[in-house]
Each structure stands twice: as C-alpha cells, then as structure tokens.
Amino acid sequence: MEKPFAITLDPGSSLANRTGSWRTSRPEYVDRLPPCNHACPAGENIQGWLYHAESGDYEAAWRELVKNNPLPAIMGRVCYHPCEGACNRGRLDESVAINAVERFLGDEAIRRGWRFAHGAPTSGRRVLVVGAGPSGLSAAYHLRTLGHAVEIHEAGPLAGGMMRFGIPQYRLPREVLDAEIARILDLGVKLVLNAKVDDLLETMRAGRFDAAFLAVGAHIAKRAYIPAGDSSRILDAVSVLRSMEGEDQPLLGRRVVVYGGGNTAIDVARTARRLGAEEAILVYRRTRERMPAHDFEVEEALQEGVMMKWLSTIRQADEGRIVVEKMRLDDKGFPQPTGEFETLEADSLVLALGQDVDLSLLQGVPDLEIRDGVVKVDSHLMTGYPGVFAGGDMVPSERTVTVAIGHGKKAARNIDAWLRGTARQLAPRHELASFDKLNTWYYSDAPKTVRPVLDILRRQSTFDEVVGGLDEGNALFEARRCLSCGNCFECDNCYGVCPDNAVIKLGPGKRFRFNYDYCKGCGICAAECPCGAIRMVAEQI
C-alpha cells in the first residue's frame, strides 16, 4: 500500500489561501478611521498624537500634532472640540478630554521652548498671505514647511486676527497667543503689520508673488435698525472686544444690554461684568436651546451673573432705557411678536448680530464670484482667478478658529501642488471605526478628568484665565483613556485567544499577521479585539 503524500504550499500563494472547506470566512487586520480624527475640522491625527502622549513622550506627541495644527496651545483653549462629541468613549462612560490634553501639549511646548523643524528645501516661489488670523497663520506655517517663501500682510497693528480682537483674555491669554505666533515667524515667515491690501493684483505684482491666500477675518459688525434717541449709547460687539486690546477700555456703564445669541454676545456680556457692570443682560429672540452660542459658555455666563432674556427683541433705545418686546415661537420654530412690551434700564446697548468680511481688496480681480458676502471657491479652495486661494471667514463655512486652521492647511497643500504643476491626490478614507465595532468588555470605567476653574469672585472682577489646564498626571491619565478605535495597539488579545496558533507576532511596532494554513475562521480574534482592528471577510474559493 502506497503512503499518502502531502503537498506543501507557499503561504503567499493563492492556493495556500484556500485553507479548506471548514472555513467560510477569514480574519483580516484593518485600519479604520477613528471618529475623533473624522470630526476634527483641522484634520488632526488625534489618535496618533494621543498614542505618544499615553507613553509619556510628550514631545513626540506635540510633533505629531503640529503636523496638521501649528497652534495647539490656542486650540486647547478656544476649540469647541467636536472630536469629543464624536469620541466612542462617550458611549462607554465619558469622552476622552482630547482638548485638555492638546492644551497640555501646547503649554508644555511653550514651557520647554520646542521649535518647529524646518521643512522642505527652498522652492524659489513666493506666496502672499492676506490676514494674520488663524487661517492665514496656519497657511503660512504649512507653506513655509513646504519650502515656499511666505509674506503675511496684516491690516492691524498686531497678528492674531479675531483670536486677538474677538476672543477675550479670560479665554485666551495673550502671552500664549504671542508665543505660538512667534514660533511660526521663527520659521522665516515675514509679517508686515499695518499693511492693508487695497488692490490684490497690484500687491501681487509689486511683491512678485506667485500665488496668494486670502484669509481676511470677519471684522465688520452687522447692524440692525433700532429707533434710538440722539443721546442713546449704541455700540457694536466687535468694537467693544477690539478696544479691550488698547490702553483705553470701553466705558459701558453700570447697566449693559447685549443684543444677540452667539458666542460673541456671550463674550461681550461677560466682559461687561468684568469691567464693573452691575447688570449685564443678554436679549435674544429665541430660546436657550436655539441659541448659536455653545451651552457651556452660556452656563459660565450665568454663573458669572449675566442675566438672559430669551424670546425677546429690542424695539427702541432711548437714553437710559431699552424697550423690549416679548416673542413666541410659531409651529415652525420662528419667533413672532406678541405685542407685550417691557422696559429695561440701560446705560449702553451692544449689538452682537454677526460680522461681515471686507472684500474691497478683490475689486478688479476678474472671474471671482462673490455670493452672500463670501467668495466662491472650488474643492481646492481656489477662487475663479488662477493662483488666488481663500479660506476662513472669506468662504462659506462655519466660522471657528478650528475650521480656519483647517482651511489654512488645506489651502497651503493645494497651493504647493498648483505651484509645482501637479494635482494633489488624496488617499481614500478608511471605514469609520464606529462604537459597535469595538469590544469594550476589556475597559474599566475611568471618568473624564475635570479641568480646574477659577473661583467666581475673580471671574467677575478680573480677566484671569477662567479654565485651567491639566497637570502631567492628569494629562497622562486622559491620554490613556483613548480606546485606539479601529487601529491595532498590540494588546496581544488576538495572539492570546486564537485556538489554532494562527496569529504571528511581528515584533514591537510591527503588529501581527495571520497564518491562514492554521486558521479555521472561527472569528474569536475579531470578536475579542478591543479596538475593532480585525474584520471577518467571506472566503473566496
């Protein structure tokens, strides 16, 4: 009787991948897109820098962070952290305090004097950036690291844009703002202050610029028709906040009424309290639930003694008094007048009804389309005029610092491609790592760290920073709360639970691979993977 013979197959061959009729599906290692990364308007690799932070390598974490965002200490204070709203950990206990860890890394970089690494070799190309706000600074940073000479023209006396002239010091200390701006300028970015661009094309010709990025902020306050007496004191919110940067602070009086429901209105009302107003009343025509201001800012304002009159609108302003009409919401949620009036005593009225952008610099630029007060751009943020790009408040988008920083990065990379005569190719995004793909059995409850807050008396009388930062211990704890959604962090679970010894360790940082000659497709590895980095796919016979 002849002996049975065996065939030995190369594990890499197509035949070797067909491992028998006992298996209908096979496991595969995958990388999925973390929801925090997906939600970040600045395009940060949040999971990537948290990975370094949780090991205590804060400089590596900071350097990974600033690949996409050069202003982490600022963003750690003023970003409204949509990443935390998307964080899968929030479905388990509470979201990771991503914003607080970002601030810790930004502050640590300032304290230790970390500098940006110089980037690509000089390209010989020059780019004009108009506006030194968050979008312009972000674009300048990325363009410089890509090797281009950058010159920022800023109409104001100081850099920072609305970060300086629209965000109060109790939210963003100026020494933090100045430190992060200085680090960008140290790369060799040229900043020209008090240099308003009146004629874009002439400025580009005179400076021999090859391309331009327009990042003018929304500094023009919107007005509303309110019948007012000659002696009534009506101001706009932008002017009030801007004047806080000068030597002469605004004189608002003891009773201040602020008209509006956005974050700027909240900032002005809180500023009024700090300037000594005994009463700061915010009048808004809808309910609290419909206010555009973020709820945590509304709550902080209420704690500081700001009073709110929801479902109200201002009908008239005379010396020392404001006439307010009560409103009601109709079936569609729109405010309607009721004919009921009341009078508020007020020394000044501050209008916080939104801002517009000064687009006068675009006069004479052909093929530009302006619609609803903003510039139309394509998917690369380029306007209708070749080589002129725009972002931030100048284009249709949400007006936040985070969005503006993201626009600056995106524009810089597209400007770089345009200058080099290439088309920027984006890699396809991975599948989202949703909560249902995780195995959270392995995680114990670890409540989110609460940031320290300044005592209420100092909040009402000083411009000291309200929300404090984390210390190293708390920052390390928060970073370690990250679930590493969708990406293997080498926990060895798959290696330990596989009944067939089909998981092969490749060494630190190299993850694992499957030996399909042994795997029978039971799926235990996928079911037990904490971060959802393994999926089962149908076997192809």
pLDDT tens digits for 316-357?
Answer: 888 889 999 999 988 888 899 999 999 999 999 999 988 889
Query: In terms of domains, do 255 and 339 share one?
Result: yes
**Residue 374: is its pLDDT beyond 80?**
yes
pLDDT-derived band at 220 (thresholds 50, 70, 90) equals confident
Tracing tokens 């211990």 back to the chain, one arrives at 473
Query: In terms of domains, do 340 and 360 share one?
Result: no
Angle of the 174-185 helix axis to the 98-112 helix axis, nearest 10:
70
261-265, 407-411, 419-423, 456-460, range with greatest mean pLDDT: 407-411
| Residue among 142, 184, 135, 187 at smallest CA distance from 161 | 135
What does the pLDDT read at residue 13?
Answer: 42
**Residue 259: is its pLDDT beyond 60?**
yes
Query: In terms of domains, do 291 and 366 share one?
Result: no
Amino acid at 535: R
pLDDT-derived band at 472 (thresholds 50, 70, 90) equals very high
Find the CATH number of the domain harbouring 526.
3.30.70.20
What does the pLDDT read at residue 541?
Answer: 65
Structurally, the chain folds into a number of domains equal to 3
Where a domain ends, among 321, 344, 367?
344
Query: In terms of domains, do 139 and 214 share one?
Result: yes
**Residue 3: is its pLDDT beyond 70?**
no
Residue 101 and residue 59 in contact, taking contact as beta carbons nearer than 8 Å: no
Residue 114 is assigned to a structural domain of this protein: no
What does the pLDDT read at residue 16?
Answer: 44
Query: In terms of domains, do 136 and 191 share one?
Result: yes
Query: In terms of domains, do 137 and 172 share one?
Result: yes
Where a domain ends, among 316, 344, 372?
344
Where a domain ends, among 419, 446, 469?
419
Tracing tokens 């004097």 back to the chain, one arrives at 113
Out of 162-171, 296-305, 366-375, pick the least confident. 366-375
pLDDT-derived band at 160 (thresholds 50, 70, 90) equals very high
Find the CATH number of the domain harbouring 337.
3.50.50.60
Query: In terms of domains, do 276 and 337 share one?
Result: yes
With b for 16 or more beta-carbon neighbours within 10 A and e for fewer, the 260-297 pattern comes to bbbbbbbbbbbbbbbbebebbbbbbbbeeeebebeeeb
Residue 430 is assigned to a structural domain of this protein: no
Residue 97 is assigned to a structural domain of this protein: no
Query: In terms of domains, do 410 and 492 share one?
Result: no
519 vs 513: CA distance, rounded Å: 11
Task: Give every CB contact of residue 203 below 8 A, 6+ residues apart in sequence.
Answer: 128, 153, 197, 209
**Residue 82: is its pLDDT beyond 50?**
yes
Q: Which domain holds residue 512?
A: 25-31+488-538
**Residue 5: is its pLDDT beyond 50?**
no
What does the pLDDT read at residue 441?
Answer: 86
Residue 264 is assigned to a structural domain of this protein: yes
Out of 245-259, 471-485, 496-510, pick the least confident. 245-259
Residue 531 is assigned to a structural domain of this protein: yes
36 vs 39: CA distance, rounded Å: 5
Residue 508 and residue 10 in contact, taking contact as beta carbons nearer than 8 Å: no
Task: Give every CB contact of residue 162 below 8 A, 6+ residues apart in sequence.
Answer: 133, 134, 217, 218, 219, 393, 401
Query: In terms of domains, do 335 and 368 share one?
Result: no
Residue 168 is assigned to a structural domain of this protein: yes
Query: In terms of domains, do 360 and 339 share one?
Result: no
Q: What is the pLDDT of residues 51-66, one digit of tens each?
A: 999 999 999 999 999 9
Tokens of 446: 């670890």
Residue 328 is assigned to a structural domain of this protein: yes
Query: In terms of domains, do 210 and 131 share one?
Result: yes
Residue 314 and residue 226 in contact, taking contact as beta carbons nearer than 8 Å: yes
Residue 71 is assigned to a structural domain of this protein: no
What does the pLDDT read at residue 231?
Answer: 57
**Residue 19: is its pLDDT beyond 70?**
no
**Residue 2: is its pLDDT beyond 90?**
no
pTM of the model: 0.90
